[in-house]
Structure 1
Amino acid sequence: MTGLKKLGVDVVQITHERVQSELEALEINIPIYYVKDDWLQLAFFRLRLNWLLAVYGSWLLHVKARVIAQATQRNLIHFTSPISPTLPYFKMGPCPVVIGPLNGNILHPPKLLFREALLKRLGALALWPYQKTIGQIFRGKHAATLLVSGGARTIKALKLAGCKDQNITETLDSGVDVAIAEQPKVEHQGVNHRFIFVGRLIRYKACDLVIRALADAPEAVLDIVGDGDERYALEQLARQIGVADRVVFHGWVQPGAQLTQLFKGARAFVFPSLAEANGIVVQEAMMIGLPVVAVNWGGPQQLIDTTNGILIEPESEEHIAHELAKAMQSLGNDPQRAEAISSAARHRAQQLGFSWPMLLKSWLRIYERVASFD
């Protein structure tokens, strides 16, 4: 929101009371209105009724947004959450509405569905009747301009709910912080066998496949940045296959100088996530000039190609681990190849406008178009 203010937009923010202390600590210089966290939201949370919590929370935000828009004479409302194309939005009345970026509706690749949670697989089977029903009941998306970053899979889910092509505009999921965008590109010289993984340590991120790959890449050293439920199992795996001395678990690292230095010290970013709807960390790596080695699936697939990264076909766990090892060995020993991919990645990041100011300017053009049609 502060980025929009810098572009001259008279902006106010509406969010939930539960994040008030965090936002106040940031000292954001824009008006912020908070939706009270009531007993019903707390009950849904404690009972783990996540769908009801999301829908009820969304309804409260809609009510608050309608009141604030009228009181402050807003000429456009932009909902940035919920981001799922399957969660409902409510009609807002006369004020033009932009929703998104929307993203989601992603499963594991077909040959790796055994790693997917059973409940999620069953949910995918119900997508068609669910979206048809939700689309008839909740009409908020039908009258809005929809920003979509999830590509064809997200558009498909929206169309099942009755949304039309003319309401859909594709965009990036998120921007890259200016501090990263303005960093000099990493220059790849000499041999470098240090690699980095950044992400939550949960099953679908597939960090275990990178660790397994180290067995076939004897010179590679891996920095793992992130934390999560899988950390203990990953540490055990590293010990069991004899690569623990080449794996450094950093835990969560706050964005800033320390994380940037870890990026700069690596030869490549290895990211075999199997159900990545977006690719924000991929955008960051590309912007800083770090070659990305990822699975040819989901968000990373939309951002990189064979000229500005390395994509691995999701044939099997063994295949991915083998190809990760091969990529690490090749890039580690070949600075010319790493530099060529690095330059192409940086060019792609700049061409597509990965930085927040450039992304917000593209959204601003959408705002102007939407408001002019009112």
Structure 2
Amino acid sequence: MNPTVPETDLLVILIAPNVSEQMGGEAMKALQILRELRRVLPNTLQITHDRNRAEVADRLGLTGVSFVADTWVSRTIWESVVLRALLNPWFCWKAVRMAERLAAERARPGQKVVIHQVEPNSPVMPRWLSRRFPNVLGPVNGNIYYPALFRHRESVSASLRRRLHMPLQWLRRWQPLFRRGAELILVAGGDRTRQSLLAAGIAPATLVDTVDCGVPQALLERPRLTHQGTNLRFVHFGRLVFHKGTALALRSLVHTRLPIELDVVGRGPELEACRALVEELGLQQRVRFLDWYERHEDLIASFGAYRGMVLPSLEDANGIVVQEAMALGLPPVCLDWGGPQLLVRHGESGFLVAPDSLQGITHGIAACLDQLAEDPALAERMSIAAREQARAWRWPEVMAQWLALYKKL
């Protein structure tokens, strides 16, 4: 499904602090949204921060993008530890004012204008809203904290955010500045995000469920990965930070019946600690560290060698890597937590392991890896189910939903 809308009917102005291939998942998602929306609404405009100019305008060659420049105010906010939390609201205020000016300059007679703040995805971040045009926020997700088992590893700030999250949301409903809500909020975090927004006094009628991120059509046009015979090879990929659970994936290998092999693809501050853990556990012959693929296409092409992917993440609000693996037919093994919990159907399109105890996690992951490795029929059923699920996440499907919602505003 690839809907088209006459340019005279609708002008959408997207806002995101970062639009980039190089600045993390949220920035990549904002870039995908811009590209996909322009397939059906070529006149879509984008507003982002000036730090993205070199990549967006020069390297990627995207037009119709406006940039919020730094001023002495923003620099003062950034340099102040006390005021730094106001930096995103400041950008939001500047970006909405710029969007209103762009709408006045570029909207044709009779055009409906929608201002869509794509990022940040937090349900608690204060937003400046336009009073002249309808406002859309989201996909809103966030509100993810470590499972209780790992909260001793939380930073002080993360612990405070977790403890104060809902009390502050309840207080927001009594603050005049926050009483007015957006006309539409796209909710991607399921019940955890919805409850947070309702606690803040957001009108239930403005909340609409959607996916956090779509899947490129090109992925689903590739041949699905098929699974035959025994395959002991699995992959774990992503930035190597504690909450991605790389150490959990490595520790699980000690408990497998079969000599499961794991390729770790990624860079990050946990790399040396993971190398040391492999030495400590005597897994040198079963674990390879493959650094990172400079081209995303090369990473995707490598998936055909594996029986499944492993991502025991503690804090991912979504899990784009899980979506990509499922779209290609690579069964995922994840924790029953956060974003993957909303993506994977346990026992059908992959496996979810309860994060109740360290022993339960490592033994549970090990059992899943053994089962997938030696049972090609199971892997094939999960591969088919995973791809079928991913079809509902295609960007054209997501855009069709959003366009229908834009029109109703």
Q: TM exceeds 0.5?
A: yes
3-state SS of the aligned residue for 2:323? helix
Q: Give distance in 2, aligned partners of 1:301 and 1:66.
A: 39
For 1:67, the equivalent position in structure 2 comes to 101
Structure 1 spans left out of the alignment, 5+ residues: none
Deviates more, 1:355-364 or 1:334-343: 355-364
1:222 corresponds, among 262, 265, 269, to 262
1:273 corresponds, among 313, 326, 332, to 313
The sequence identity of aligned pairs, in percent, is 35
Q: CA deviation digits over 1:235-272, x for unaligned, max 9?
A: 11111111133222222324533101222211001111
Change (3 A) 1:224 1:46: farther
- Tell me the amino acid that sits aligned with residue 338 of structure 1: A
Q: Give distance in 2, aligned partners of 1:320 and 1:75.
A: 49
Over aligned residue pairs, what C-alpha RMSD do you find? 1.9
Report the TM-score, using the length of structure 2 for normalisation: 0.85
Correspondence list, 1:105-144, <5 A:
105-135=143-173, 136-139=175-178, 142-144=181-183
3-state SS of the aligned residue for 1:186? coil
Change (3 A) 1:208 1:95: same
3-state SS of the aligned residue for 1:358? helix
Q: CA deviation digits over 1:3-61, x for unaligned, max 9?
A: 22221352111111110011023444541111112233334434555422222222221
Q: Give distance in 2, aligned partners of 1:129 and 1:165.
A: 19
Q: Give distance in 2, aligned partners of 1:2 and 1:77.
A: 16
Report the TM-score, using the length of structure 1 for normalisation: 0.93
8 Å contact 1:199–1:205 — kept in the other structure?
yes
Q: CA deviation digits over 1:105-149, x for unaligned, max 9?
A: 111223332233332122222123322344424438613200010
3-state SS of the aligned residue for 2:73? helix
Aligned length: 368
For 1:180, the equivalent position in structure 2 comes to 219
- Tell me the amino acid that sits aligned with residue 329 of structure 1: D
Correspondence list, 1:83-102, <5 A:
83-102=121-140
For 1:24, the equivalent position in structure 2 comes to 57
8 Å contact 1:11–1:30 — kept in the other structure?
no
For 2:27, the equivalent position in structure 1 comes to none
For 1:14, the equivalent position in structure 2 comes to 47
2:364 corresponds, among 319, 323, 336, to 323
For 1:33, the equivalent position in structure 2 comes to 66
1:58 corresponds, among 79, 88, 92, to 92
Q: Give distance in 2, aligned partners of 1:27 and 1:140.
A: 39
- Tell me the amino acid that sits aligned with residue 370 of structure 2: Q
For 2:380, the equivalent position in structure 1 comes to 339
Question: Are 2:354 and 1:313 equivalent residues in the alignment?
Answer: yes
Deviates more, 1:27-36 or 1:332-341: 27-36
2:207 corresponds, among 168, 174, 182, to 168
3-state SS of the aligned residue for 2:212? coil
Q: Give distance in 1, aligned partners of 2:281 and 2:77.
A: 43
Question: Are 2:185 and 1:152 equivalent residues in the alignment?
Answer: no
8 Å contact 1:91–1:140 — kept in the other structure?
no
